[in-house]
Structure 1
Amino acid sequence: MYTDQDSFTTSLSISDIEIKLDPEQFLRSHKSYLINISQIKNIEPYGKWTYVVSFKDIRKDALITAAKFEEIKKRFS
């Protein structure tokens, strides 16, 4: 897990973490990523069915599926 100031390692599964987070604030963007939607800076295409998410204060990127990208667009429109 990455924050704006630190990174952490956990033995919990991503599904276990997802259950504990607010679904209004966090999104399972891809099978390997949970993202804080309030920290999204930019989303760019990456291949045919995938996008890359960059964040405001973190120099890490995450992947997002086309379906989840559409879900985010609906939340903000």
Structure 2
Amino acid sequence: MRVEKPIRLYVTFYTFSEAMATEAACKRENLSGKLVSVPRKLSAGCGVAWECEPCLRPEIESLLEKEDIEFEEMAELST
């Protein structure tokens, strides 16, 4: 029997400071998630990604735009 792996949303960044700014903004807005190493399937300039539930994508996109935080890519991957 094959077990389905959960899908997670990963946001990658060009710089570490953008990743840190995302973490701070998400904490202020009570959006759950965490900074993680970028999964091998993705690439990122700084090697760090924000990982969270895919259902938070609209809120994350809106927050990044509001905070003027530049990101490289958003991708949903199984962990």
TM-score normalised by L of structure 1: 0.29
Structure with the bigger percentage of strand: 1
TM-score normalised by L of structure 2: 0.29
